[in-house]
Every structure is written in C-alpha cells, then in structure tokens.
Amino acid sequence: MKVDLFDFDLPTDRIALHPATPRDAARMLVLDGAGMHDRGVCDLPTSLRPGDCLVFNDTRVIPAQLDGRRGEARIGATLHKREGPRRWRAFVKGAKRLREGDAIDFGHDVSATATTRGEDGSWALDFAGDEPVELLLARAGRMPLPPYIAGKRGIEARDAEDYQTMFAADPGAVAAPTAALHFTPALMAALAAAGIGYETLTLHVGAGTFLPVKAEDTADHRMHAEWGRIDAATAARLNAVRERGGRVIAVGTTSLRLLESATPEGGPIAAFEGDTAIFITPGYRFRAIDGLMTNFHLPRSTLFMLVSALMGRERMQAGYAHAIAQGYRFYSYGDASLLLP
C-alpha cells in the first residue's frame, strides 16, 4: 500500500510535552461497534467487560542516549538493541566520522569501541571495562525521550519517572510502552473490582520505533527487530481468558506485536522468546488480541498503519480527525484510544 494513504495533518500544538496529572486523568477516545465515544482513561473499568484481560509490557526504559567524542569530533549514540553482554547496536549521530575500531569517550569513565556498521547505518558498540553496562549508562546516559518532545523542551529531571510505566521491571527498552503510562494503582484497583484481569510480557522497545517510513510503499519498508518474551504460563492464562469468553486487550502496540508474533495461524498463543520484526498493515488477520488500548500516533508511521489494520483505515482517519478537532493530546505523553473491533 502507498504510505501516503496513512498521512494526515496534525497541528503542532496537539503534541503533548508532559503527561496528564494524575496519569489516569488523560482523555480516551473509544471506537467500538457502537461508534465513537469521548471518555476518560478513568472510565476504562466501565468500557470493558468482566472477564476481559489487559496485557501490559513490563519493559523498563534505560538511559540509552549518550554524548561522546572521538578525538575532536562529537558523537551522539542512541542504543537500540542489546547484542551481547557488553555490545549494543546504536544509531549514531556523526556516524560519518566513525571508522571500525574507533574508540568513543562518553565521559564519566565510560567508553566504547565502534566495531561493525550495519546495513541500516547503525553501529555495534563494545563497551570497555567489566562493569555492567547498566551501571555505565546510569552514569553517562540520559532518558531517550522521543525527538518530537526532546526537540521542543529538552529533557527534564521529572522525565526519569514520567517516562516509566508502573509495570516497568525488566531493563532494556529505549522507548516506553506509552499506553501503559496512563495506569495508576487506583485505576488497577478499580479494574480488579470490575472483574478485569491483567497479565504482563516483555518487549524491549528499540529506537527504530521513532524512525520515519522513508519508502513510498509499505512493501518496501523494513522493520527493526526487537527482543521479546512470553512465558508458557502467561500464554496459557491468556488462552484460558478467551476460552471463557473474555477478551484479550493489548495495552500498547508493543504488547500487541509480541502477542501476534507468539501466535501461529489458527492459534493459540504460545510461549515465545526471541526477536520479532512483525510489520502489521491493513489486510493482516489478527490472531491473538480482541482489542487495543493505545496512544495517538504519528502520520505515515508503522503504528498508524497497525491501528488502521485493526479498525480500518478510513475509520481511523475519521477517528484521528475527530481527536484533532476535539483537542486530544497526541503521542507519547498524550491521550489514549481504546479500539474494540
């Protein structure tokens, strides 16, 4: 399909620069079989049914952005995928200044060697020393806010907390599973009281989630791989939800993509551990999920293509036009949508 089909005009003042306070005070646009409804995230317990199950991504964002030097040249690196105990794949600003074997000094006694360059232009960085890389990043790194936020107001101290979900447990992501940013202990208690359960899985979101689609046709776009895991017990409980007539509702496109990767044609959901580069566009037949809670996405993005595959492109275009007209807040710190096909 032509990428232009997934374009729309978004006023820049619709881009949220901070999350709602409290988090569950965000607005929520519901698209379901009955139409389109303006609600709030706090209405989620009454927007779902008893027996439904939400699925959250428990990845934890690491301070994955680094500023360094190779001699006099400035080098910026955004880690996006672990390849070994001390090796990370990174997108590099100033990559033309790098050669294989070059050492980069990131300050704070943190350095790495650029080893191999990938076909996508990324570099493998081997970190020096024997300290865990997580400790090195805690010293020298900063939170990898999306460029459409960081470019407008910079990174603030509060982002260290604002850009983590309440489920964050397994370090490794360089972007937050932002739909889950809306959840609070009070909201989870209300969901439990309404008979709505939840499960967690892990998908370490990579920096490729921020990359624009440069191809003119979706068939020519290559997704970056991300590592994820669903254990057998979680898969079994999710299958039991559907067997009892409940619905599996992914919270965020990351949860959805991993669930679909773990489910063979005809189902059921199975245990999964490894890389996924699944790219979901209209025409895809969903196997694992019955709905999706997600934020509002960029024009021409793979994520807008995904929600168009779930709900239909024309319906999502209409939903986004309504959201823009009604002042909904977009992107990572923005409002939510609940999509129930």
Using one digit for the tens of pLDDT, what is the confidence trace for 29-64? 999 988 999 999 999 999 999 999 999 999 999 999
pLDDT digit string (tens) for 223-272? 888 999 999 999 999 999 999 999 999 999 999 999 999 999 988 999 99
Strand-strand pairing, 59-61 and 170-173: parallel
How many other β-carbons are positioned within 10 Å of the β-carbon of residue 63? 20
Task: Round to whole Å and give the CA distance between 267 and 260.
Answer: 10
pLDDT digit string (tens) for 82-137? 898 999 999 998 778 889 999 999 999 999 999 999 888 899 999 999 999 989 99
Is 235 within 8 Å of 40 (Cβ atoms)? no
Task: Round to whole Å and give the CA distance between 88 and 160.
Answer: 21
Q: What is the pTM assigned to this prediction?
A: 0.92
